[in-house]
Amino acid sequence: MKAVLMSDMMVIKSQAKSVLLVIVVWLGITIFNKSGLFFSALSTVYAMMLPLTCIAAYEKSHFDRYLFTAPVSRASAAMGHYVFSIICALCLAVIGFAASVALGMSVREAAYSTFACFCIGVVMVSVVLPVIYKYGTEKARLTMMAVFVLFVLVFGLLFGALDVDMDSLWDALLLLPLLTVAVFAVSAAISVGIYKRREF
């Protein structure tokens, strides 16, 4: 898994200027809109895109063929991208939380909203990664867009239809970590199974 994490970081490092530019632009928009939640929400999408970028680079270079010449199990290789996604999501969540507090949101609201966005990002990654392993990055891009649109529609309808106060909403979000862990576990099991059967 360490080899996969290091290779993912090397791919992102090669695109460091683009990554930093995206983050700076989002922070600028966040400050202009005075809403740290904007950054946190966009971070969920970006956390989903980063492993897709890494795996696309591996497909072009046939990196996996060389990876398995080393003592690396397929299970740990498959899980490496999950761990990398969570690390990216955590880093962006910390920035989003700090921006939210700096712009006047209470620590409690900032923590809840950032954590909710982080959980949603993990769920989105968990949906996309098995598709990447099964069908490749091109088809996964379509799935990624479909998943993003679906989440936007679902949460938009929920916020529009539910007439609840913020405290009730935060209480409801306590169920989100359980859902996130369940989806992550199922996704990881599927991905490991796919990766073990895959020919490179």
What are 156-188's pLDDT values in tens digits? Answer: 555 554 444 555 555 666 778 888 899 999 999
Question: Could you please report the per-residue DSSP string of 63-104?
Answer: HHHHHTTSS--HHHHHHHHHHHHHHHHHHHHHHHHHHHHHTT
Range of the domain at 159: 2-197
Distance CA 41, CA 108 (A): 17
Q: What is the pLDDT of residues 47-57, one digit of tens each?
A: 777 777 777 77
How many angstroms separate the CA atoms of 110 and 96, rounded? 8
Task: List CB contacts of 48: < 8 A, sequence separation 6 or more.
Answer: 85, 121, 124, 125, 128, 144, 147, 148
Tokens of 165: 């106060």
Give the pLDDT of residue 162: 46
Count the domains in the chain.
1
As a whole number of Å, the CA-based R_g of the chain is 18
For residue 187, give the nearest of 141, 134, 116 by alpha carbon.
Answer: 134
In this structure, what DSSP letter does residue 157 have? H
Residue 184 pLDDT:
92
Long-range contacts of 136-145 (CB under 8 A, 24+ apart): 136/59, 137/52, 137/55, 137/56, 137/59, 140/52, 141/52, 144/48, 144/49, 144/52
Low-confidence ranges of the chain (pLDDT < 70): 1-5, 7-8, 11-16, 19, 35-37, 61, 63-72, 151-173, 199-200
* pTM score: 0.76
